[in-house]
């Protein structure tokens, strides 16, 4: 028999976003919430991505909750197993497991104006009814897999980096890697140590900066654990060091071109072949696409058994791939390092708001539009975490998540304090915010840098990045401005 649960707040997802929201509610003494999770464990992207070399590219002392700091990170940039363990420990500490319903993937959400409630259905056939709906689904969880001509004829193994096939032994295998994004930059150096050959199909080379990674010394871990405020000070130093990078991203491309010299020096040091150097050196300004960090990627490309192919894949055969120049290469496996659906990451969400409005249809037609990346006009009591235009290229998104959970909890309190049924942003306020944000993005490196990236939607509009300093976002989300919203109806019993 299918179940029906009623609650106050329904949270979707158990990554940093969902767990952060739940912890915020717990700290306020609330227990009237439920978390839906499609998998059988918490962790979101840090549970799903288990490819070799997977690690954070923001320092872990910053890429963690400010109110739950970990003095024991093993490295400056911690590997995936350690981050996932941190999230599981976080969920245990705040007793969040008892609020999670595992194996429950949201398939649709419908706003009932009469009840002033959200009705959410899941793939398991269950229904959850809540006053407030918080979507912590994020954008980096739907793998982007290209439709390669002839792939159905391929008799080897093929998988995406986010769905790594750990049962497949890569030792001695000939592997075609498609894509040179953040995951490929991490796993290619690892698999190259055991494969017979790696053919890396590159469409556009990324800019790669040196990775200032190192083991955290024991004395530092002890200091952080025993001296109050020591880790907070270290975190603050990291924050401002990262934050200053926003200056270059926003309308000062000459600063980015200075930084390019570091990346070029890395290429020159690791790669002696002038033709390979040419292949891996981008022709756009650093920052236009996501800036990556690595110390072992370029040395891996310089290996005799690794080939960088700049011609696309024209055809896949049973045991080979043929590129657009007509060259055929025998391979045993294909690994997609092609990233995720980002600007269309919410297309699959069937969210129906006021008067039958469909969010995915509206966003597909007009682009993703919100107020502060959190609320949407016409969709009362709906909140997004890491929604449109709140991603970052220079600092930790966990900082953004904490700002958003504060804002959402303040909005919920406003509804309850006023005895209202629901809250939604005024259309004019939403339009003003989007005009402002797009005006800033037009001047930024993402638009002016001479490339096309996954930050941009099908119309070439950046719906992904927050332009500017994160402290400004924090200032704007510390308190809900009631004038930005309309409070509708009365609370129902």
What is the mean pLDDT for each group of 10 consecutive residues in the chain (493 residues)?
A: 87 97 97 97 96 96 97 97 98 98 96 96 96 87 86 96 96 97 96 98 95 97 95 97 84 79 95 97 90 96 97 96 97 92 67 95 91 98 95 93 98 96 97 95 82 81 90 96 91 62
Q: Is 481 exposed, middle or buried (0-12, 13-18, 19+ CB in 10 A)?
A: exposed
What is the β-pairing status of strands 328-330 and 320-323?
antiparallel
pTM value is: 0.95
All structural domains of the chain with their residue ranges: 4-42+96-142+341-490, 151-206+245-336
Phi (first) and psi of residue 323, to 5 degrees? -90, 175
Helix, strand, coil share of the chain (percent; to 5): 35, 20, 45
Which segments of 41-181 does DSSP mark as H helices, in order?
A: 45-48, 80-93
Helix axes 16-27, 397-418, angle to 10 degrees: 40
Element (H, E) at 298: helix 297-301
Q: How far apart are CA 271 and CA 303, in angstroms?
A: 9
Task: Give the per-residue pLDDT at 346.
Answer: 67
Q: How far apart are CA 381 and CA 401, in angstroms?
A: 18
Q: How far apart are CA 174 and CA 335, in angstroms?
A: 11
| Residues near 40 by beta carbon (within 8 Å), at least 6 away in sequence | 102, 103
pLDDT digits (tens, 9 = 90+) for 394-416: 899 999 999 999 999 999 999 99
Classify the C-alpha dihedral 87-92-94-96 as positive or negative.
positive
Q: How far apart are CA 438 and CA 163, in angstroms?
A: 34
H helices, E strands: number in the chain: 15, 20
Task: Give the per-residue pLDDT at 342.
Answer: 59
* Strand ranges, E, within 348-448: 350-352, 382-384, 420-425
Q: CA neighbours within 13 Å on the CB side: how many for 377?
A: 18
- Identical topology for domains 4-42+96-142+341-490 and 151-206+245-336: yes
Instruction: Say if domain 4-42+96-142+341-490 classifies as CATH 3.50.50.60.
Output: yes
∠ Cα 72 76 78 (to 5°): 75
Which segments of 327-426 does DSSP mark as H helices, in order?
A: 359-366, 397-418
Instruction: Say if domain 151-206+245-336 classifies as CATH 1.10.150.120.
Output: no
Structure tokens at 459: 């119309």
∠ Cα 45 49 51 (to 5°): 165
Secondary structure (3-state) at 22: helix
């Amino acid at each position: 028999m299918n179940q029906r649960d009623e609650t106050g707040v329904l949270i979707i997802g158990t990554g940093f976003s969902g767990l952060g929201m739940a912890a915020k509610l717990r700290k306020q003494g609330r227990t009237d919430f439920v978390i839906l999770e499609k998998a059988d464990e918490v962790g979101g992207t840090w549970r799903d991505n288990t490819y070799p070399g997977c690690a954070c590219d923001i320092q872990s002392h910053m890429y963690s909750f400010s109110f739950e700091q970990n003095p024991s990170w093993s490295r400056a940039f911690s590997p995936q197993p350690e981050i996932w363990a941190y999230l599981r420990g976080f969920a245990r500490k705040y007793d969040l497991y008892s609020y999670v319903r595992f194996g429950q993937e949201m398939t649709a959400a419908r706003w009932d104006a009469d009840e002033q409630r959200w009705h959410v259905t899941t793939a398991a056939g269950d229904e959850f009814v809540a006053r407030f709906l918080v979507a912590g689904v994020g954008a980096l969880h739907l793998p982007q897999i290209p439709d390669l001509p002839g792939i159905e004829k391929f008799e080897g193994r093929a998988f995406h980096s986010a769905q790594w096939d750990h049962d497949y032994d890569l030792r001695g295998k000939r592997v075609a890697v498609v894509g040179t994004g953040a995951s490929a930059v991490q796993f290619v150096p690892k698999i190259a140590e055991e494969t017979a050959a790696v053919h890396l199909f590159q469409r556009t080379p990324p800019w790669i900066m040196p990775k200032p990674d190192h083991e955290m010394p024991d004395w530092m871990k002890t200091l952080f654990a025993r001296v109050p405020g020591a880790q907070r000070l270290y975190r603050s130093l990291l924050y401002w060091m990262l934050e200053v990078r926003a200056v270059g991203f926003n309308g000062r491309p000459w600063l980015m071109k200075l930084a390019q010299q570091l990346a070029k020096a890395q290429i020159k040091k690791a790669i002696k072949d002038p033709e390979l150097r040419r292949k891996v050196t981008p022709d756009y300004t650093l920052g236009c696409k996501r800036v990556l960090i690595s110390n072992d990627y370029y040395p891996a490309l310089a290996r005799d058994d690794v080939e960088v192919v700049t011609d696309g894949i024209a055809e896949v055969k049973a045991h080979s791939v043929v590129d657009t120049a007509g060259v055929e290469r025998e391979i045993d496996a294909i690994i997609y390092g092609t990233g995720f659906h980002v600007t269309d990451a919410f297309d699959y969400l069937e969210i129906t708001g006021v008067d039958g409005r469909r969010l995915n249809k509206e966003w597909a037609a007009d682009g993703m539009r919100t107020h502060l990346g959190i609320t949407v006009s016409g969709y009362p009591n709906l909140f997004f975490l890491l929604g449109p235009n709140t991603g970052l290229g220079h600092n930790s998104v966990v900082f953004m998540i904490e700002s958003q959970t504060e804002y959402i909890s303040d909005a919920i309190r406003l509804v309850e304090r006023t005895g209202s049924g629901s809250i939604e942003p005024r259309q004019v306020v939403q339009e003003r915010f989007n005009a402002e944000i797009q005006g800033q993005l037009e001047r930024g490196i993402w638009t002016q840098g001479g490339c096309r990236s996954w930050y941009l939607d099908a119309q070439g509009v950046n719906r992904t990045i927050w332009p500017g300093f994160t402290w400004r976002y924090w200032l704007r989300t510390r308190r809900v401005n009631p004038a930005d919203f309309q409070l509708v109806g009365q609370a129902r019993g």
